[in-house]
């Protein structure tokens, strides 16, 4: 077995015997004399045979040879080779001989036995020494190990490596023994001796040694069940013991509830009861054997909780096969006050689980149809388990109520289960006898309330809902599984017509059942008046449960999510809209964390769901289509085909047509191309570059769970950044930058990584894809985009660096418990302001609230501001700015007809909400935008993303400086590429010209000081810009014609508006400031109401204006929002 050996060749034994001080490379550690005396003992005996001396020469020879080989190999390889198996075995022989000495015992317990445990099996040649120790040694610790190893020898079924224990492979002693059939110590030799010795011990009545008796019995149970002789012996011992200890009814009560109470005799009896029932549990089930059942039934009343658990598990297993005799044998135990009622209060969880199974088997047994009284006792017991404090028990009870058996249950059982769940009512028994015993004292005190009959479904729903709020993954997983079972039963009920279209009818009849108890609970109104509330009740309960289930999709554990999706699939009703389920699945499939086995599992669930409800063929096929299109590489084609086939075959004559239609839809899909997955592949590509981005990706996935809209927007933008046309890619990159700046961390890091990869040459590698994707010759190399990205990267770099510095500073201050000095705070504040300035160049941020240094900086900056009386109103809290901007947004809707972009969220709250990564709810305030965004996210116009996105970019009313910047780049691009473009010009000149024009713009736009601090170039830039518009419009027109853009109508409109602008920009207009305006960045110009300005040109909702005389800040020209100036 390779298990004991890891890749570096270090075995577990190396690890275990290595010097603790040595490093992890245990094999290379220095002289291994370490803890064990084994080394020295072994060394002195080097070369001696391990097996007891015998006259089998060949055997001896082989052994010696192997031993020598092992040791010499060990020596040759490594002088500190850890203890070999042979050495250990030899030490046992040696030490067994002197086991009366304390030192030998110590050595055995401390070094030899623990090390021997590392090997996956123990060879029979050690057995004689073990048996000797067993007889002669009195040290408990040595003996415990002896029992452990004897059990392992017994359990070893002869073939090497099949032992359950694992570990380092043991040298193949058995095989060696077989070479020489005449002798050696073989299993066949030692096993009977071991069994004899252990049997004798376990049947002895010596009270002093009863602990050894327990251990011996336990060791005996490990012998293989295939030997009938051994089984007989074991049976004899177990039943013999039970004979003596089982009939002790009176003593039990003390033992069960007051653990330490009771006399010595009863405690010993309890211990023996435990050991014998534990052994009985390991014996093969014997349903026909009345003695077997009788002993198990007696076990229910034992004092030892583990014994009770074993007894119940035996009984529940027998009950599944022969409920009648079990019910008879149990007699009155199920009645109030009986032994089974006591188990409700037993501390052992599994015992109660078995009780639920037992109750389920008996209450559903057809053979007991004549005895409704018995059946009702057990169902009442089962229903009481629904109130169990342990989730495990409660869920088992729910599953039992729902009719889940061992997966062989029939549809009728399931349907019956659903009806039971929805109609039955839990009436807690009066249980005077129980209460009188004081067992139920607690619950009986508040019984007046708790006793009120409760409909099962309400109990179950309440319980499940609270479980779904748990933080424990196992609980979530289990709860989702229960919901899945519920869905299965419900589907069965549908299938049998017990609860289908006639739902209202059925539920109505049901609701009288349902409402009654609740009505009683409230104020005993006329049950008839509740006629219409009933449907709401069940449907409402289910709906609120499903709401909770859906939120669980946000769990970060993919297995929990898978279970939730399976539950949703099962709870999906053929008559309900499945849009939500579809979108959840589609969202989930974008997560690369899903292992393919799990996806196939979900597909198989679809398959099973279809079998349960053939009506859902179309729905299910649509869902399967999502799998086929989204993760074609991960799912097993066979599974998918199986699903399609079954849907086709099983749909029935009516459904066949619809099923066929659905399949055709899938077949009509284009085969998955590399391009169609570019969003994902691009992410993968980025992630492949280094572990940091892998981490970013992982975090993004986690974040995507919090905000699926933003995440899918990201994915789509990334795709656009790769595969759109030139303009689209720029717009996408800009949008990504905006998201990076405004959003919380995982997104930012992710985008940073993405942009980084893009700048480095992801573009080149994607060129092939580009050409595939839109057949348009892009006519440029990727460098253009690269130089576009680099300033964005620089800003992000700058932010990260500043954040790192801040983190370091904070740490330093914390460590030295130092206050921040004013100087340091000032520096921090300056960095903060500087970053704010940079960031504002790319997109709008609320200056008062935005924290480029991260949330940790908030406090420090606050301190500095307070100290120096700096109001935070540099930007947003300035009412003029705030209202101005919001005005701008709302009015621009009117002006531009469409407010459609992700980035139009200038409303500060919206921006902040976004920045905080909040839910999608924020979009509710911005209805047109929502639709647009949704369209965009849903991939509307995937075939022609260019047009879509172009419009998206052009009609953007946002005032980010980046827009203008991008536009100028575009304009230049179009102007300069005009010739080269359609002649397939990826000529170096064209690229060069683009580059130069871009860089000139960077300079010209008075771009952040970190890129170029040459405000003097202002004029020159203006020149460029002013020159461009005409060429832009012509190029646009030309392009429009040449492309024959089907959507040119729309495009034309927006372009037309530009033409107007262009005209206006030709001859400067004069205007007047309507409001005060405070510049938010270097490029903006502050205005005072009434000030006269000259409008130079308009860009995206901003005027570039010139003042007659310089303002207070000394600036003459700059950008102001259009709405601030009357033209």
Tokens of 134: 């067993």
Could you say whether residue 451 binds another protein (CB under 8 A)? no
Q: Are 394 and 349 spatial neighbours (Cβ–Cβ below 8 Å)?
A: no
Could you say whether residue 3 binds another protein (CB under 8 A)? yes
* CA separation for the pair 611, 270 (Å, rounded): 51
- Smaller CB separation from another protein, 15 or 660: 15
- Smaller CB separation from another protein, 212 or 956: 212
Could you say whether residue 20 binds another protein (CB under 8 A)? yes
Touching another protein, residues 455-474 (CB under 8 A): 472-474
Q: Are 678 and 685 spatial neighbours (Cβ–Cβ below 8 Å)?
A: no
Could you say whether residue 222 binds another protein (CB under 8 A)? yes
The CA-based angle 128-132-133, given to 5 degrees, is 120
Beta-carbon-side half-sphere exposure of residue 98 (alpha carbons within 13 Å): 10
Touching another protein, residues 477-496 (CB under 8 A): 477-478, 481
Q: Give the contact letters, 662-681, x = binds to another protein (CB under 8 A), - = no.
A: --------------------
Instruction: Provide the minimum distance between the beta carbon of 301 and another protein in the complex, in angstroms, as a whole number.
Output: 16
The single residue among 4, 42, 779, 1004 that binds another protein, judged by CB under 8 A, is: 4
Indicate the DSSP class of residue 1120. E
Could you say whether residue 10 binds another protein (CB under 8 A)? yes
Could you say whether residue 244 binds another protein (CB under 8 A)? no
- Smaller CB separation from another protein, 275 or 686: 275
Exposure class string for 399-428: b at 16+ Cβ within 10 A, else e: bbbbbbbeeebebebbbbbbbbbbbbbbeb
Could you say whether residue 16 binds another protein (CB under 8 A)? yes
For every residue of 690-716, DSSP letters joined together read -HHHHHHHHHHHHHHHH-HHHHHHHHH
Could you say whether residue 988 binds another protein (CB under 8 A)? no
Could you say whether residue 118 binds another protein (CB under 8 A)? yes
- Smaller CB separation from another protein, 271 or 831: 271
Touching another protein, residues 51-110 (CB under 8 A): 109
- Smaller CB separation from another protein, 474 or 984: 474
* CA distances from residue 653 to 171, 245, 619, 971 in whole angstroms, order as listed: 65, 66, 17, 61
Instruction: Provide the minimum distance between the beta carbon of 197 and another protein in the complex, in angstroms, as a whole number.
Output: 16
Instruction: Provide the minimum distance between the beta carbon of 16 and another protein in the complex, in angstroms, as a whole number.
Output: 5
Q: Give the contact letters, 393-412, x = binds to another protein (CB under 8 A), - = no.
A: --xx----------x-----
Tell the residue number behind the tokens 């002895």, with chain if given: 204
Could you say whether residue 355 binds another protein (CB under 8 A)? no
Touching another protein, residues 527-566 (CB under 8 A): 557, 559-560, 562-563
Touching another protein, residues 120-179 (CB under 8 A): 140-141, 143-145, 147-148, 151, 161-162, 164-167
Instruction: Provide the minimum distance between the beta carbon of 189 and another protein in the complex, in angstroms, as a whole number.
Output: 24
Tokens of 162: 């099949």
Could you say whether residue 879 binds another protein (CB under 8 A)? no
User: Considering only CA atoms, which of 211, 228, 48 is closest in space to residue 141?
Assistant: 211
Left if phi > 0, otherwise alpha if psi is -120 to 50, otherwise beta: which for 761?
Answer: left
Q: Give the contact letters, 714-743, x = binds to another protein (CB under 8 A), - = no.
A: ------------------------------
Q: Are 884 and 877 spatial neighbours (Cβ–Cβ below 8 Å)?
A: no
Instruction: Provide the minimum distance between the beta carbon of 263 and another protein in the complex, in angstroms, as a whole number.
Output: 8
- Smaller CB separation from another protein, 559 or 800: 559
Instruction: Provide the minimum distance between the beta carbon of 253 and another protein in the complex, in angstroms, as a whole number.
Output: 16
Instruction: Provide the minimum distance between the beta carbon of 344 and another protein in the complex, in angstroms, as a whole number.
Output: 18
Could you say whether residue 274 binds another protein (CB under 8 A)? yes
Touching another protein, residues 690-709 (CB under 8 A): none
Q: How many residues bind another protein (CB under 8 A)?
A: 79
Contacts of 850 by beta carbon, 8 Å cutoff, 6+ apart: 836, 839, 915
- Smaller CB separation from another protein, 281 or 414: 281
- Smaller CB separation from another protein, 34 or 955: 34
Q: Is 281 helix (H, G, I), strand (E, B) or coil?
A: helix
Could you say whether residue 281 binds another protein (CB under 8 A)? yes
Q: At 243, phi and psi to the nearest 5?
A: -50, -40
* CA separation for the pair 573, 576 (Å, rounded): 5
* CA separation for the pair 981, 779 (Å, rounded): 6
Q: At 425, phi and psi to the nearest 5?
A: -130, 135
Touching another protein, residues 184-213 (CB under 8 A): 210-212
* CA separation for the pair 300, 351 (Å, rounded): 10
* CA separation for the pair 257, 439 (Å, rounded): 9
Tokens of 416: 């019956």
Could you say whether residue 447 binds another protein (CB under 8 A)? no
Tell the residue number behind the tokens 């399609």, with chain if given: 644
Tokens of 854: 């991260």
Q: Of 114-122, 226-234, 442-450, 1109-1117, which part binds another protein (CB under 8 A)?
A: 114-122
The CA-based angle 167-113-155, given to 5 degrees, is 55
Instruction: Provide the minimum distance between the beta carbon of 598 and another protein in the complex, in angstroms, as a whole number.
Output: 8
Touching another protein, residues 563-582 (CB under 8 A): 563
* CA distances from residue 554 to 585, 746, 1031 in whole angstroms, order as listed: 12, 16, 51
Touching another protein, residues 303-342 (CB under 8 A): 304, 306, 313
Task: Kindly report the three-state secondary structure assignment for every residue of 755-806.
Answer: HHHHHHHHHHHCHHHHHHHHCCCCCCCCHHHHHHHHHHHHHHHHHHHHHHHH
- Smaller CB separation from another protein, 22 or 793: 22
- Smaller CB separation from another protein, 145 or 923: 145
Instruction: Provide the minimum distance between the beta carbon of 473 and another protein in the complex, in angstroms, as a whole number.
Output: 4
Could you say whether residue 114 binds another protein (CB under 8 A)? yes
Taking the CA atoms of 710, 711, 716 and 718 in sequence, report the sign of the dihedral they define.
positive
Instruction: Provide the minimum distance between the beta carbon of 595 and another protein in the complex, in angstroms, as a whole number.
Output: 9
Return the C-alpha torsion angle 836, 837, 838, 841, nearest 10. 110
Touching another protein, residues 584-603 (CB under 8 A): 597, 601
Could you say whether residue 271 binds another protein (CB under 8 A)? yes
Gyration radius of the chain over CA positions = 40
Could you say whether residue 392 binds another protein (CB under 8 A)? yes
Could you say whether residue 391 binds another protein (CB under 8 A)? yes
- Smaller CB separation from another protein, 115 or 756: 115
Could you say whether residue 1127 binds another protein (CB under 8 A)? no
Strands of the sheet with 1092-1099, listed across from one edge? 1117-1121, 1102-1107, 1092-1099, 1069-1073, 1125-1126
């Amino acid at each position: 077995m390779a298990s004991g050996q890891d890749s570096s060749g270090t075995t577990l034994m190396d690890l275990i015997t290595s010097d603790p001080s040595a490093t992890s490379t245990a094999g290379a550690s220095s002289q291994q004399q370490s803890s064990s005396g084994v080394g020295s003992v072994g060394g002195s005996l080097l070369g001696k045979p391990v097996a007891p001396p015998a006259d089998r020469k060949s055997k001896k020879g082989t052994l010696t040879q192997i031993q020598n080989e092992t040791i010499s190999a060990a020596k040759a390889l490594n002088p500190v080779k850890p203890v070999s198996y042979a050495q250990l075995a030899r030490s046992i022989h040696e030490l067994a001989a002197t086991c009366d000495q304390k030192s030998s015992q110590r050595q055995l317990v401390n070094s030899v036995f623990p090390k021997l445990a590392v090997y996956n099996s123990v060879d029979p040649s050690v057995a004689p020494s073990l048996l000797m120790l067993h007889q002669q040694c009195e040290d408990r610790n040595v003996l415990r190990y002896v029992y452990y190893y004897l059990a392992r020898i017994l359990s070893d079924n002869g073939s090497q490596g099949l032992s359950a224990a694992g570990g380092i492979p043991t040298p193949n002693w058995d095989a060696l023994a077989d070479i020489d059939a005449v002798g050696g110590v073989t299993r066949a030799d030692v096993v009977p001796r071991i069994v004899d010795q252990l049997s004798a011990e376990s049947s002895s009545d010596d009270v002093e040694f009863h602990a050894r008796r327990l251990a011996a019995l336990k060791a005996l149970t490990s012998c293989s069940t295939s030997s009938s002789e051994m089984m007989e012996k074991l049976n004899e011992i177990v039943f013999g013991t039970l004979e003596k200890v089982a009939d002790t009814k009176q003593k039990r009560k003390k033992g069960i509830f007051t653990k330490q109470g009771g006399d010595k005799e009863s405690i010993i009896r309890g211990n023996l009861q435990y050991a014998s029932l534990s052994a009985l549990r390991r014996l093969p089930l014997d349903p026909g054997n009345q003695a077997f059942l009788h002993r198990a039934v007696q076990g229910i009343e034992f004092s030892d909780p583990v014994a009770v658990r074993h007894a119940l598990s035996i009984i529940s297993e027998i009950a599944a096969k022969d409920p009648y005799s079990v019910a008879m044998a149990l007699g009155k135990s199920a009645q109030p006050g009986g032994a089974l009622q006591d188990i409700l209060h037993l501390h052992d969880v599994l015992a109660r689980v078995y009780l639920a199974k037992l109750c389920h088997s008996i209450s559903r047994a057809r053979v007991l149809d004549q005895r409704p009284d018995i059946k009702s006792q057990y169902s009442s017991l089962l229903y009481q388990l629904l109130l169990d404090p342990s989730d495990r028990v409660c869920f088992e009870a729910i599953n039992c109520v729902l009719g889940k058996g061992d997966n062989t249950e029939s549809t009728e059982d399931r349907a019956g289960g659903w009806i039971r769940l929805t109609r039955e009512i839990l009436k807690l028994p009066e249980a005077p006898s129980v209460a009188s015993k004081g067992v139920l004292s607690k619950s009986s005190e508040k019984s007046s309330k708790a006793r009120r009959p409760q409909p099962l479904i309400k109990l179950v729903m309440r319980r499940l809902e609270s479980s779904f709020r748990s933080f424990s993954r196992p609980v979530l997983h289990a709860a989702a599984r229960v919901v899945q079972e519920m869905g299965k039963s419900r589907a069965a009920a549908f299938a049998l017509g017990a609860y289908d279209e006639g739902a209202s009818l059925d539920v109505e009849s049901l609701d009288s059942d349902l409402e009654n108890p609740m009505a009683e609970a409230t104020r005993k109104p006329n049950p008839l008046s509740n006629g219409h509330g009933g449907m709401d009740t069940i449907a409402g309960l289910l709906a609120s449960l499903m709401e909770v289930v859906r939120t669980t999709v946000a769990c970060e554990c993919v297995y929990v999510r898978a279970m939730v999706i399976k539950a949703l699939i099962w709870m999906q009703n053929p008559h309900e809209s499945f849009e939500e389920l579809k979108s959840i699945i589609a969202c989930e499939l974008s997560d690369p964390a899903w292992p393919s086995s799990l996806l196939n599992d979900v597909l198989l669930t679809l398959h099973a769901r279809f079998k349960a409800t053939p009506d859902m063929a179309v729905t299910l096929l649509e869902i399967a289509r999502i799998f086929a299109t989204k993760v074609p590489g991960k799912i097993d084609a066979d599974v998918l085909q199986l699903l399609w086939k079954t849907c086709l075959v099983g749909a029935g004559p009516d459904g066949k047509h619809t099923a066929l239609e659905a399949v055709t839809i899938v077949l009509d899909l284009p085969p998955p191309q590399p391009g169609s997955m570019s969003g994902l592949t691009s992410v993968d590509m980025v992630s492949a570059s280094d572990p940091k981005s892998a981490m970013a990706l992982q975090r993004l996935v986690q974040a995507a769970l919090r905000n699926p809209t933003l995440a899918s927007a990201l994915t789509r933008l990334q795709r656009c950044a790769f595969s759109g046309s030139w303009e689209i890619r720029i717009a996408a990159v800009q949008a990504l930058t905006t998201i990076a700046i405004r959003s919380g961390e995982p997104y930012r890091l992710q985008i940073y990584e993405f942009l980084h990869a893009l700048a480095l040459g992801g573009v080149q590698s994607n060129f092939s894809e580009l050409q595939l994707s839109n057949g348009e010759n892009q006519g440029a190399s990727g460098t253009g985009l690269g130089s576009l990205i680099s300033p964005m990267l620089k800003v992000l770099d700058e932010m990260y660096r500043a954040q790192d510095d801040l983190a370091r500073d904070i740490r330093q201050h914390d460590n030295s418990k130092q206050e921040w000095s004013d100087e340091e705070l000032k520096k921090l504040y300056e960095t903060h302001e500087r970053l704010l300035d940079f960031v504002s160049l790319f997109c709008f941020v609320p200056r008062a609230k935005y924290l480029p240094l991260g949330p940790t900086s908030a406090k420090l900056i606050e301190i500095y501001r307070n100290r120096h009386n700096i109001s935070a109103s540099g930007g947003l809290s300035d009412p003029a700015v705030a209202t101005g901007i919001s005005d701008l947004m709302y009015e621009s809707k009117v002006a531009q007809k469409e407010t459609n972009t992700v980035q139009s969220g200038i409303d500060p709250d919206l921006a902040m909400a976004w920045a905080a990564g909040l839910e999608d709810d924020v979009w509710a305030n911005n209805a047109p935008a929502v639709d647009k965004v949704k369209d965009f996210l849903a991939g509307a116009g995937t075939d022609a993303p260019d047009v879509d996105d172009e419009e998206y970019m052009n009609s953007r009313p946002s005032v980010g400086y980046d827009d203008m910047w991008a536009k100028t780049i575009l304009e230049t691009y179009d102007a300069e590429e005009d010739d080269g473009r359609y002649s397939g010009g990826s000529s170096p000149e064209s690229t060069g010209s683009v580059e130069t024009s871009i860089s000139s713009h960077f300079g010209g736009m008075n771009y952040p000081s970190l890129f170029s601090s040459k405000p003097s170039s202002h004029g020159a830039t203006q020149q460029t810009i002013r020159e461009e518009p005409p060429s832009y419009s012509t190029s646009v027109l030309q392009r429009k014609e040449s492309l024959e853009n089907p959507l040119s109508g729309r495009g034309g409109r927006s372009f037309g508006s530009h033409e107007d602008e262009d005209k206006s920009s030709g001859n400067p207009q004069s205007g007047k400031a309507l409001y005060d305006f405070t510049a938010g960045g270097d490029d903006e110009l502050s205005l005072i109401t009434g000030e006269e300005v000259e409008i130079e040109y308009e860009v995206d909702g901003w005027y570039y204006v010139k003042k007659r005389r310089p303002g207070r800040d000394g600036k003459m020209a700059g950008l102001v929002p259009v709405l601030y100036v009357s033209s």
